[in-house]
Amino acid sequence: MNLWNKLMCYSRRHSPWLFHMNSGSCNGCDIELVASLSPRYDAEQLGVRLEGSPRHADILCVTGPVTHNAAAAIRTVYGQVLGPKAVVAIGSCPATTNVFIDSRTLEGPLSKHIPVDVFVPGCPPRPDAIILGVAKAAEILAERGNQPPAESVMIPIGESACCAGGCARAEAAKPAPTEVQA
Could you please report the per-residue DSSP string of 137-160? HHHHHHHHTTSPPPTT--EE--TT
Which one-letter DSSP state was computed for residue 151? T
Q: Which phi and psi (to 5°) does residue 128 adopt?
A: -70, -30
For residue 101, give the 3-state DSSP assignment.
coil
Q: Does 170 engage in binding with other proteins (CB under 8 A)?
A: no
* Count of Cβ atoms closer than 10 Å to residue 159 Cβ: 10
Q: Does 15 engage in binding with other proteins (CB under 8 A)?
A: yes
Q: How many positions of this chain bind other proteins (CB under 8 A)?
A: 26
Which positions ≥6 away from 133 have C-beta within 8 Å?
88, 90, 118, 119, 120, 125, 157
47-86 residues in contact with other proteins (CB under 8 A) are 47, 49, 51-53, 55-56, 58, 80, 82-84
Q: Does 45 engage in binding with other proteins (CB under 8 A)?
A: yes
Least spacing, CB of residue 63 vs other proteins, in Å: 18
- E strand residue ranges, 64-175: 86-90, 118-120, 155-156
Least spacing, CB of residue 93 vs other proteins, in Å: 25
Q: Which stretch binds other proteins (CB under 8 A): 43-51, 87-95, 106-114, 164-172?
A: 43-51
* Count of Cβ atoms closer than 10 Å to residue 121 Cβ: 24
117-146 residues in contact with other proteins (CB under 8 A) are 146
- E strand residue ranges, 73-122: 86-90, 118-120
Cβ distance to other proteins smaller for residue 5 or 103:
5
Least spacing, CB of residue 158 vs other proteins, in Å: 23
Least spacing, CB of residue 140 vs other proteins, in Å: 15
Q: Does 7 engage in binding with other proteins (CB under 8 A)?
A: yes
Q: Does 14 engage in binding with other proteins (CB under 8 A)?
A: yes
Crossing angle for the helix pair 127-144 and 3-14, nearest 10 degrees? 160
Residue numbers of the site for other proteins (CB under 8 A)? 7-8, 10-12, 14-15, 17, 38-39, 42, 44-45, 47, 49, 51-53, 55-56, 58, 80, 82-84, 146
